[in-house]
Amino acid sequence: MPGLFDRLDKEIKESQKDGGISPLDIAKLPPSLRKIMRVMLRELQMSYPRMCEVMDTMPEQDRLTRTELDSALSNLTEQFWLTRIGEREKAIYKVNLRRKEGSTLAAGIWSSLDSKLKRKPPTG
């Protein structure tokens, strides 16, 4: 049985195939992760201690344990929903609505052009 974070990872990877993550994708997130993103969208930047404070004020059914929160923040960071500056308690998280991906197309284009340039022109 896939876990919450496995499902999130799968959904994000599917979104990446369609050109990246959009703010509308936030509505598709599981409730706890959606709450994290909604809080982050209001503040745009938040320290880890502040995130813990906010999590502690949420209704009990919506709260994440510190381990779950750490895992969720790590997952959201790895998938480019958030960017993290610093580590652990000194970390600051920022919303990253415009995900920047490395292009796999560029490598193919340049290698193709390079091979065509290396070919000798036909002698006539």
| Predicted pLDDT at 123 | 63
Domain 4-118 CATH assignment equals 1.10.1060.10: no
- The verdict on pTM exceeding 0.85 is no
| Predicted pLDDT at 100 | 47
As a three-state string, the secondary structure of the chain is CCCHHHHHHHHHHHHHHCCCCCHHHHHHCCHHHHHHHHHHHHHCEEEHHHHHHHHHHCCHHHCCCHHHHHHHHHHHHHCCCEEEECCHHHCEEEECCCCCCCCHHHHHHHHHHHHHHHCCCCCC
| Predicted pLDDT at 44 | 84
| Predicted pLDDT at 114 | 66
| Predicted pLDDT at 87 | 87
10 Å Cβ neighbour count for 82?
Answer: 22
Low-confidence ranges of the chain (pLDDT < 50): 16-20, 100, 102-103
**What are the boundaries of each domain within the chain?**
4-118
What's the pLDDT tens digit per position in 36-62? 888 888 888 999 999 999 989 988 887
